[in-house]
Structure 1
């Protein structure tokens, strides 16, 4: 006989194993790429698609029943075509990029504009500490898929380093007319 040594969360106390399996398994085939998950994704050079697996995340979008509820982190897969990336930004928590396929050039920078870059390949990662300006670009000839994990179930919206992007950082959350 098995004994659970830790209690289930309140919302799962009476859930069947099938209910837990149905709610806590995420499949790529069930994901719809979100090309408007971030405000900067509307700008050429920053176009990318997010496939959210765990948590509502910084995009603030809700209602996707294929997303697994988060407790302490978010997890997404990003698809970035050649020549695209994201705008320099910070988070209040750590953010991890883990390359699954392709090559990704990541960067960190300071407030004086000094920037260091590193090219990551398959199975390589960077952990970006809170408050450190960072981002990435796919400067290769092939698309890249990588995992993104943030250290909070619902992190704040990205803190773009660019003032005009920062001012409208939540604009993608309202429906366009």
Structure 2
């Protein structure tokens, strides 16, 4: 007989294995591409699709109940076509980009405009500390898929470095 050495969280006490399996498995084939998950994704050069696996369903327009509820982090797969990326931004928590397929140029920058960039390929990653301006661009000739993790189950909306984007940052959520 197997013995669970750690207690289940309150919401899973008395819950059967089939229900746990259904709630805590997300399959790519069941997820919808969310091309409106971010305010800057409406702008040429920043277009990308989010596939949320763990956490709230991005913009709320897609995702339904196919994602796994978050506890201490979020997890998504991003699809970015050549020439696209995201606007420089910060988070209140750590953000990690882990490249699965293709090549991605990641950058960090300071308030004086100094920018450092590094190209990442498959199985390479960057961890962006809280408050450090960062972003990425796909400057290759092929699409890139990469994993994104944020260090909180429900992180704040990203803090765009650009004032006009920052003012509109919640527009995609319909919470302006």
Mark yes or no: TM-score above 0.5.
yes
The 8 Å contact of residues 59 and 173 in structure 2, kept in 1 or not, is answered as yes
Supply the distance in 2 between the matched residues of 1:67 and 1:39 (Cα, whole angstroms).
Answer: 21
The 8 Å contact of residues 36 and 59 in structure 2, kept in 1 or not, is answered as no
Supply the distance in 2 between the matched residues of 1:158 and 1:80 (Cα, whole angstroms).
Answer: 18
Runs of 4+ in 1 over 6 A off after TM superposition: none
Cα distance, 1:61 vs structure 2? 2.7
Structure 2 length normalisation: TM-score? 0.96
Cα distance, 1:60 vs structure 2? 5.6
Supply the distance in 2 between the matched residues of 1:29 and 1:61 (Cα, whole angstroms).
Answer: 18
1:5-31: per-residue Cα shift (whole Å, max 9, x none)? 111111110111111011101100001
**What's the counterpart of residue 60 of structure 2?**
61
Q: Which runs of 5+ in 2 are unaligned?
A: none
Supply the distance in 1 between the matched residues of 2:138 and 2:21 (Cα, whole angstroms).
Answer: 35
Supply the distance in 2 between the matched residues of 1:61 and 1:72 (Cα, whole angstroms).
Answer: 20
1:33-69: per-residue Cα shift (whole Å, max 9, x none)? 0000000000000000000000017x46387200100
**What's the counterpart of residue 94 of structure 1?**
94
| Greater mean deviation of Cα atoms: 138-147 or 3-12 | 3-12
Aligned length: 174
The 8 Å contact of residues 60 and 157 in structure 1, kept in 2 or not, is answered as no
Cα distance, 1:2 vs structure 2? 1.1
Supply the distance in 1 between the matched residues of 2:60 and 2:99 (Cα, whole angstroms).
Answer: 24
**What's the counterpart of residue 150 of structure 2?**
150
**What's the counterpart of residue 114 of structure 1?**
114
Provide the alpha-carbon RMSD of the alignment.
Answer: 1.4
Secondary structure (helix, strand or coil) at the match of 2:119 reads strand
